Every structure is written in structure tokens, then in C-alpha cells.
Structure 1
Amino acid sequence: MDREEVLRRLRNPAFTMEAARRAVAGQELPEGLARRVLRLCVIRGIRYHDAFAQDSAKVLHDLLPKLPEFKRALNARAIMSNRIPDMSPDSDFAGDMPYCIWHPEVATEDTYRRLVQRYPAMAYQVARACAVAGYTDLYRELDILPEVHVAEEARANGSTAIFELIMAEPVRYKIMDDYTRTVCLHAPTAPAYLNGDTCVRPMLDEKEDIREPTTKRDIDDPEYRRPNPHYGYYHPGFKRPAFNITEDMNVSVPKEGLPAWLRDDYEPDRWWEAPRLPWTNSMAELLTTPLPQDLPEGNKDLLIIMAAYYGDIDRYVRLRRPTSLADNEAWCIVRGIYHNSLFAAWFASRQTAEIDRLYQCGGSEGKVWAIVAAIDARFIMDNNLSRLVPYFTDPPTNIPKGEKVKTKDYDPPYMIWYPKLAAQSTYAELARQVPSMRQAVARACVFGNFKEVFDQILAADPEFCPDVFTLREARISPQPRADYYEEAIMKRARELGRDVELKSSVEGNRDESGRWAHHDWRWPSVRPGGYKLSDSGYNHMHHYPETYTTLYSSLHTGVLYADQDNIDKNVYNDIGCDAGPVEMWVGLPEEWRPVDGPHWVRSLDYVSWPPKETPQL
């Protein structure tokens, strides 16, 4: 294959699953190298198949200076095959020096010794390889600083001698960075501790099946053209893992002809993208204890999302990953902000940086909006309107024809009365300053029995009518004057000729801002106790706060319920988040905890579970 052919393929966005399979198997280069998912498959094929690296893929070494990841993959494969490649001695790890040189195979001890003699800058990569392979003698010869990534790698791979050598040192250093694939030789961080920030070798064996991309070209392709600003859902064909030290995103391909749930290697917990159960996570005990300086071995995702869920600033800042989000982390942040004013204030003080981080971690516009809306809501409930007035005040009406006015970037929050009511004066001023939030304010007034403010809103605008959700809130309210709100709403509706008895979003109309006024998630109330909405089509009971008596074997901490059947949980502006199973689990006696099999459901009813032989209360 000549240079022109490679360049032609680099412009070709064609994707087929068969081409991906052949690339992963190290059989041939795909036609559509313009697709990143196929380039990842090529890198995976190079790393796993030396014959592919020396034959079909060899042409990628010199012809693609703008895509150095191919050259790094080829050099890594050469090292693992006990060949020392020619690399620039002054290169950083964004050039041709590979970061990971120990997966899927390790080279011989002599190969790594010769490698570090020729390229001293790779001493810490060689140390990681020693930790994987157990080359204790070579590690001693390196005479390097005790590095925390090497320590975590040694612990995970059973290289006890190397681990103990590092942990015995009075000060440890952070020189490697598995999130950015960089090695900082000249300005190491000290003291450093084991913080679960290492992509240890067993993690590299956990693969994710690719899928067909959802657009004709990748959105970062120079020739990509969006049909309109709202181009809809985009999936590049692969899932971004927490780490990418091998530069192939841990991609795999599904077995031909079989959907995921029928394959032998199907794992339901991973399909649901939920954290592992506490009893399969070695860090679970840290949910109820202060964090030690050095974290134990294990996946810290559960610790991250629970720190976000409770709005624990110190734990969250220490534990979170700078370049990726744990599953459902964004939704746990929303919940933490709603329930912790200090967490909300911290996010508000760093809003620009946190939004940038969220996007860099692969966050969507929806996640960004949800977090910003949560901050605004928490500030409102704390009687602080300083954030809202500059952003959400309606634009002036005397705009010259043809000119556009930049309005707010995000919709204001709707849930502004849970878990805390603001003062009546706050709601009155909010309705005056931000007319588009009057529906939310009206419902807050009914919830809090703020009759004076409710009347002010109606009197200020004879064209304003509280919607069906506020009517529902009035009808189930236990307040003495609940009937007053229902009568006032129905009277205004009759005056304006509006129907506020709509049963679902299908029958909805538009509110003053032109948006669809009826969202299913707004039907339930957050009042303690239960009530039925049989006439609205939702016949199950709604309880706030939730009462948990069921423990699942696949723990869905922080599960997102938005736009799904569990609308009664989407209290945080169409975001649902609960940690009930975790909160129940951490307090259970050891003998109460079920151990019979990996997938089950237990209901704590004191009849069927816990068993009768357990200690009595």
C-alpha cells in the first residue's frame, strides 16, 4: 500500500462492522480510516498482533505524522515483541514514545533493560512494566523515585517486593499521569499517595463493544457538516473509558450475529452502566469511614458518586477523575447541589471551570444544563437571586425588526421548593423579575401555602393562569386553605377559556414562553406520604421522601430516570437520582447481608428476609 492509498483511506468515512472485526483481528486495514472508531480498532489490532504490525499496518509508521498514535502503537508492539524501535530521544509522550509498553504482553527483562539504557526518559514506563511482570531486580537497577502509579500497579499484579520497596519510603512521588499519558520528570509532585488514579493492567482486559456511529462523518472530521444546529443524538461508535493509556479506548467488537445479551461474556451490570455492588467493591467500607491517605485497591467510582450525591466537597475533589465522569456522576452532582448549599456555592464559584471539565469528560449539554439549573435552584431556596436576574430576565420587547437578541443560555429551574422553601418575599421578587418562572413560583406558593404571594402573581397579570401541575398540587395539599388555590386556578382558567384538566403531555399546550407546558415528570408531588393519580394515567403511589425496603444485587446508585417510566423520581428538574440501596446496605449487620448468587432482589420485610435465625431486634 502506497502513501496515496493511505491518504485516500484517511478521507473515507465508510464504516462496516466487518472492517472493524478484521482490523481488531489484525487481518487488514479498513477502508474508512476517517472514522476514529476504526482507527481505534487498528491500534487494538497492532497491539495484539505483531504480524499485523510488521505487515499491513507498517505503512502507518511514517506516512501519518499528524496521527502519531499509530506510530506509538507500532513502537509499543515492537517493544513487547522484544525489539527496540528507533525513536527520538528528545521526544515527549505526545510524539513517538508509547506510554503503555506492558499490555497486552510484557517483554523480557533484558529488553526493558536495553530500552531504558537507550531511552532514559522511559525509566518510569519500564518501572511499570517491572511492576506488571515482577522484574524486581531490574526495578532496583533503575534507581528511580518511589512513584505511586508504579506502587498501585505492583499491588494489582502481585509484585509484592516492588510494592513494599515503594511503600517503605518516607515520601512517595507522582510522576506519571494515566489520565493524560504524560510523565513529568522535572517537576514531580510530592508527597503523593495512592488515590486510585492508576489504570492497572487488569483494567485493560475489560473491553467495550463498539457500535455503528450515528452520523455519516465524525463531528470532529474537517468535512463534517451539521444539517442544523440541533443535529440530535450523536454517538461516535465507542464509549470513552476512564483511562486510555493504550490509546485504543479498550475497544472490542461484538460477536457476529449475536446481540450483547445473548453472548457468553455478557455482563448485565456493565450493560446497565452501574457501579458494582458494595460487597464486590474493596473500597465499600470507606463509605462510612474517613478516607485514608492511601486508598485500598479497587474501583473508586462508588466513592466518587456518593461524595457527589451528598455534596461532600473534600471527598469529591480528592476522588473525582479530571478527564472522565463516573457513571451517573453528573446526576449525583445535581442531587448534591440541591441538598447542600455549600456544595452549590463551591460549584458556583468555579462554574466556568466545572463546565469546561464536564465537556472535556464527554458531558452533554443536558448534563451542563442540569448542573447549572441545580445551582440556580439552590440559590433561590437560600433566598439569593443574584444569579438569576442577569441571566433570566426576559429580553426587551422594543427590538428593531430583524435584529436578534441573545437570551439566556439555559432554561431556569422549575423545582424551587424542594428540599427547602424560600421566603415569601423571595418568591414574590422572583415572579416580578423573571416572568417566565411564574408557573414554578405559583406551584411553590401552593406547596408552601403562601396565599399572599399567590394572589399577587394572579393580580399582576390577568392573562396568567397556573397550569395543571399547580392545580394537582392544590388538590392533594393537606393545607387548610388548599381549596382556595383550586378555586382560584379554576376561576382564572374559566375567565381565559383554558383547559387545566389535561391528563398528559400528549394533550398539552404551550406556555407563555412557547415551550410545551406539560412535562410528565412534573405530575408527582414531593409531599411526604402517598397519593394516587388514577385519572391522569399514573396509578402507582408516589412517596417523598422515598422509603426503601428493596436491595438489588446490581446496585444502580444515582441512576438517571429522566424520560423513563419512573417519572415520580425525576424531582430535580427531570433528573432522578437515589442511593436508597446503598444507604440501606451500609447499616445492615454482616449476617443480614445476602450472599446467594450474583443477581437477585431482596425485600426487607422481616418475613422473607432477613432469615429467622438472624439476631432479633
Structure 2
Amino acid sequence: MAADTHGSNPSTIEHRFMSMSYSDEDCAAAIRGESLPKALGLYVTQLCVFRGIRHHHGFGTALRGIPGHPEFSRALNARDIMSNFIPEMSDPDEFPYCIWHPDVAAEEIYRQLVRRYPHLRYHVGRACAVAGYIDLYRELDLLPDPCIAEEARDHAQNANSKRIFDEIMGQPLRWTVMDDYTRSVNLHNPTPAPYGLNADTAVASSLGWKQDFERPAPGSRFDDGYQPTHPLNPPSYFNITEDHGIGEPLDDEDLHVYDQPATKESAMSDLLWNPLPHHLPEGNKDLLILMAAFYGNIDRYTRLRRPIFLQAEPGCIIRGIYHNTLFARWYSQQPAATESRFARAITARFIMCNDLSRVSTTTPPEELPYLIWYPTLAHEATYAELARRNPATVPAVARAAVVADYTHLWDSLLQRLVPQEALFAEAKASPNAHYLTSLRRRCVELDLPDLEATAAASGDDYFAGSGRPLESSATEMPAVVHAGSVGWDMGGPYDGYRADVGMVELWACAEEDMRAAAGEDVVSVVGVYEGMGMGAEEGVGERWRRRRAEGLRGRGGGGGGRGKGEG
């Protein structure tokens, strides 16, 4: 049993929550269950204490009942239960959710727990799925719950856990009672599960993942000084242990959840190109979510999405909106459509379909898109009315006029136009010299600097009209793909967003032999093709392995493994 080494005077403990100081040593000691930090004001420090409490019985007991911080009592109560003690609990905020990780209690302890606290029967049922306590599970007489089913499947190597799984799946209907996203149990109004098993459970085998701690600072994984927000943090949709998996990594091989393959035995990855089954297989569905959003697949995305966005998800949604009008129409009815980043994309898609219902003289500038000519050109009359209806759209309409070669529209806008570098770059790429000539003349009229000279270096990403594609292909392929294989960044062509799935698409097309050849590294297909030619009878993977063995590995593809389009 761990022991606290600092004083337990309540006033002293409460004072620690006022301090925002940080110490690596204090965090490490808390995780090990050795001592409480001298300052508890930072969330990262609190996470370390939660971890220490959950993994070391007897640690942190001075934090029980601290006003305004029931989360510590929850952690202590969870640890007590898993250590075969039934704590006194009365405040609803002090009842824990997860009482099965990192340990399970004895079956009789869980039985007594339910007798004393009947509303914990589904929590206990979940523990039964982990431990294989089939007799107790049957005594509980629970509705067949998808979370318990997925947990039992995760422990199917235990014969009794497998029996629990089979009993649940043998029922004609499953009911949504437990919710791992909100750590809640709906005892009074359970609803039929809208799908089969849907990979919406933080199964116990996924809870061994760890992320290390660090000092909160701008740009760090705790960059707001409170919540972990960095893309390499665990996805925030699951936190059933309330410690975000904080820990001391054993070595550099510890993976973030965000980086883990989306598959167990490739079953989940196979669904990238196959219809979704009624019951999803074991694994992480994040990559499926991103790809469904990227392609604007309404049915898949509606089923798969989580209540919180993945890191690359907004960019994928925006790309899906741009390329799928029906997805845009559907998303316009979603709550998130009021956010300016999505509103711009939806409006752009509607404009390119010659519908201006979303634009008026009072439309806020932050909801007006710039990219309104790709992947579809609107009619000239639509662009003309757009510029008349809201003058803030003139730069975008002028750019569209160059791409579409609408000279009459261009000439009508010229006196309202202030030349920009991006517009110069597009005009220089156009086969019609009229646009460049008139831009030069306009610069002279306005006494502007030489924008033409700097246009090529402007870093503009919008060259759809001049033969330079907005999206590119990948030339390097890993052995497995996951959510982290989807590139994303701000400042991309889709009104400030970009999502890059080239690596996933290459992986989906490639032979199994080629994927296996990647091993722990990546295969450079340019190196394979250029170094050996396409005429050899041996397989591509065989050629790659032979080339690697000969020490002739090549790296192909520019832009971080992306083949760039040429204008």
C-alpha cells in the first residue's frame, strides 16, 4: 500500500490547488504513488495524481472530500473497489465510472457493491465482462449493452467472457445504456442501439496506452496550461479512467493512440474499401471516420463519427463538402455548420452549384469563401450576382473569372478590383493574356508595387484553374495506415484547410507484398519504379526487398512524400 509523504491537513491540501507551479519530479512521484505534488493547480499535475491513485492503493487519501474536486474522491473510490474494499459513497459526483482498470475486484466484492449501490449494476456488468464473472453477470439481469459486449469480445480469450459476449449477441436487440464518451449510464431511459457494435467502447486492452507529461507552455501538449490539446495526445473522446493515460513511458516505442494502427488483424482496415458490416470488428475506427468525411459519404460518416472531432476531421469534412454537394446539403443541417470554417465551405459548394441563397449583403466576411471555382465552375451570371450582392466577394469572383475565362465578368469588375499577388499568379498562368495585361495597367493606376515579381513566391495554393491540382498523390507507403496517416494543416486551399489522404489511398491500392516490404519503414514507390523499371517479372515487394538488400534504397517524391502536380 502506497503512502503519502506530505502532510494531510485539509487547509494545506486546499492551498495546493491555488498554486500553478510545475515540477517534473513531483509529477513522476505522483505517478509512482510516492508523494503528492506540492502544487495541484495545473491539470497535468492532477492527471499524474489520478494515475497514481488508480494504480497505487492507499495513495492520495488526503484528497478525499476536497471541496470542489470530487474527481479525486472518484479515483480513490475506484481504487478501493478494485482493491476489494467497498467505500462509503453518497455524493453522485463521487461514484466512479471505470472500476475494472487496472485491476478487477473479487466477484463477491462486486456482488456486494451492487447490493449496496444498485445503480452501479452496469458498471459491475462491465467488470464481469473483463474478468469473466458469468454467474454474477447473469444475476444482474442487464439489458444487452454494446459497451459490455465489446468489452467481453476484447477479453474473449477468457472462456466466460466469451460466453457473456455470445449471450449479448444472441439477443435480437441491444440497448445503449453505458456511454464511454460521457462516462455516464442511462438507467432510466435506455434507447435501442442505432447500429450494431460500433467501436464506441474504450475496451480495457486500450487503456494500457501512456502519454508522458510535460511542463505546460505555448506549443506544448498542454499548451493552454490546463487541458492536453496537442494532436499527438490521446484522442479526447475517451477518458474513462480520468487520467488521459498519463504515465512515464517505458521507452521510445510507446505509441500514442493517435498513431496506432486502425486494425486488429486488418479487419478494420479492410473496411476502407468494403461495405460496413452490421457489427464493426475490433479495432480503432478513426481512419474510417476521416476517409468517410473526406469523400463526403453521408451514411458511413453518420454512423462512424464520434461526438468530438479528431485532429484531421475538420479538414476532411471541408474537403468532403467541397466535393460532394449532397454531403454539403446534409452538413448544412448539422449543429457544427454554424462554425465559420464549415459555413464558408458549404456556401462555396452552393455557389458553385449556382445557388446564392446563403449570401446576402449582411453575410459576415468570415463566412464568405474565397475558393469558389474548384472543383466546379459556376455560371458567369452567378459570379456577377455574387459580386453585386456582397462586394467583399469581388477578389474571389475576379479569381474565378480568370480560371473560367469569363472576360466580360472580369472587365466589369476591374475598376472595383485591387490587384493581389495570388490574382497575378493566376493571370500569369492563364492562356489568355488579357487578364495579366489589365492587371498591370490597374497596378499603374493605383500606384501599387510590382506584385507580378513577387507573385510566384506568394505561396498560393489555389491553382486549380491553371493546371496545378489542389490535391496530390503520395509516393511513400508505410506497412500500416492509421488516423495519423491523414495529413492536415491550416492554410490549405479549401479556405484555409487541407486534408491529405494520399498515403492511405496508395496503401489501399498496393499489393500485400508491397505493404509487407515496408516493414517498420516506408516503401518509396518512385525508388522502386525508377530504380528497377516496370518490366521485371518479380513482384514489386520482391524487387523492393532485393533493392534494399543491395543497399540501393532510394527516396522518391517531393514535399514530404507527396508527388506534386506540375503546371
TM superposition score normalised by structure 1: 0.78
1:383 deviation in Å? Answer: 1.8
Quick check: 1:488 aligned with 2:408? no
Once residues 13 and 162 of structure 2 are traced to their aligned partners in structure 1, the CA distance between those partners, rounded to angstroms, is 46
- Partner residue, 1:559: 487
Candidates 121, 127, 130, aligned match of 1:129: 127
RMSD between aligned alpha carbons?
2.9
- Partner residue, 1:533: none
1:586 deviation in Å? Answer: 2.6
Contact 2:361 2:390 in 1 (8 A): no
Q: What code does the residue aligned with 1:198 have? A: T
Candidates 151, 154, 160, aligned match of 1:153: 151
Q: What code does the residue aligned with 2:409 have? A: V
Once residues 461 and 178 of structure 2 are traced to their aligned partners in structure 1, the CA distance between those partners, rounded to angstroms, is 51
Candidates 453, 463, 467, aligned match of 1:525: 463
Contact 2:421 2:454 in 1 (8 A): no
- Partner residue, 1:396: none
- Partner residue, 2:551: none
Quick check: 1:103 aligned with 2:101? yes
Alpha-carbon distance change, 299 to 609 in structure 1, aligned in 2, over 3 angstroms: farther
1:8 deviation in Å? Answer: 1.1
Once residues 612 and 326 of structure 1 are traced to their aligned partners in structure 2, the CA distance between those partners, rounded to angstroms, is 43
Contact 1:383 1:423 in 2 (8 A): yes
Alpha-carbon distance change, 355 to 447 in structure 1, aligned in 2, over 3 angstroms: closer
Once residues 127 and 117 of structure 1 are traced to their aligned partners in structure 2, the CA distance between those partners, rounded to angstroms, is 13
1:528 deviation in Å? Answer: 6.8
- 1:244-287 deviation digits (Å, cap 9, x = unpaired): 111112222468xxxxxxx43354xx49x556367965311212
1:51 deviation in Å? Answer: 2.9
Candidates 331, 336, 340, aligned match of 1:354: 336
Q: SS at 2:110's partner residue?
A: helix
Q: SS at 2:497's partner residue?
A: coil
1:194-343 equivalent positions in 2, closer than 5 A:
194-214=197-217, 234=224, 236=226, 238=228, 239=233, 241-253=236-248, 263-267=251-255, 270=256, 273=258, 276=261, 281-322=266-307, 324-343=308-327
1:206 deviation in Å? Answer: 0.9
Structure 2 gap ranges (5+): 1-7, 542-567
1:615 deviation in Å? Answer: 9.7
Q: What code does the residue aligned with 1:349 have? A: Q
Quick check: 1:586 aligned with 2:514? no
1:149 deviation in Å? Answer: 0.7
Q: What code does the residue aligned with 1:522 have? A: D
1:358-437 equivalent positions in 2, closer than 5 A:
368-392=339-363, 408=364, 410=366, 412-437=368-393
1:326 deviation in Å? Answer: 2.1
Contact 1:331 1:558 in 2 (8 A): no
Contact 1:472 1:523 in 2 (8 A): no
Q: SS at 1:389's partner residue?
A: coil
Alpha-carbon distance change, 109 to 593 in structure 1, aligned in 2, over 3 angstroms: same
1:162 deviation in Å? Answer: 1.4
Quick check: 1:170 aligned with 2:155? no
Aligned length: 517
1:472 deviation in Å? Answer: 1.4
Q: SS at 1:349's partner residue?
A: coil
Once residues 495 and 457 of structure 2 are traced to their aligned partners in structure 1, the CA distance between those partners, rounded to angstroms, is 10
Once residues 375 and 452 of structure 1 are traced to their aligned partners in structure 2, the CA distance between those partners, rounded to angstroms, is 27
Once residues 305 and 167 of structure 1 are traced to their aligned partners in structure 2, the CA distance between those partners, rounded to angstroms, is 28
1:425 deviation in Å? Answer: 1.1
Contact 1:151 1:166 in 2 (8 A): yes
Q: What code does the residue aligned with 1:472 have? A: A
Quick check: 1:11 aligned with 2:18? yes
1:48 deviation in Å? Answer: 0.6
Higher alpha-carbon deviation: 582-591 or 308-317: 582-591
1:142 deviation in Å? Answer: 2.1
Contact 1:26 1:49 in 2 (8 A): yes
- Partner residue, 1:469: 422
Contact 1:283 1:300 in 2 (8 A): yes
- Partner residue, 2:553: none
1:70 deviation in Å? Answer: 0.9
Once residues 311 and 409 of structure 1 are traced to their aligned partners in structure 2, the CA distance between those partners, rounded to angstroms, is 26
Contact 2:262 2:286 in 1 (8 A): no
- 1:508-564 deviation digits (Å, cap 9, x = unpaired): xxxxxxxxxx994425512474xxxxxxxxxxxx5455344442446454311335x
- Partner residue, 2:79: 77
Alpha-carbon distance change, 69 to 279 in structure 1, aligned in 2, over 3 angstroms: closer
Alpha-carbon distance change, 254 to 278 in structure 1, aligned in 2, over 3 angstroms: closer
- Partner residue, 1:577: 499
Contact 2:478 2:519 in 1 (8 A): no
Q: SS at 2:176's partner residue?
A: coil
Q: What code does the residue aligned with 2:201 have? A: T
- Partner residue, 2:564: none
- Partner residue, 1:228: none
Once residues 134 and 7 of structure 1 are traced to their aligned partners in structure 2, the CA distance between those partners, rounded to angstroms, is 41
Q: SS at 1:63's partner residue?
A: coil
Once residues 32 and 442 of structure 2 are traced to their aligned partners in structure 1, the CA distance between those partners, rounded to angstroms, is 69
Contact 2:209 2:254 in 1 (8 A): no
Quick check: 1:39 aligned with 2:32? no
Structure 1 gap ranges (5+): 220-232, 256-262, 357-367, 393-407, 506-517, 530-541, 564-569
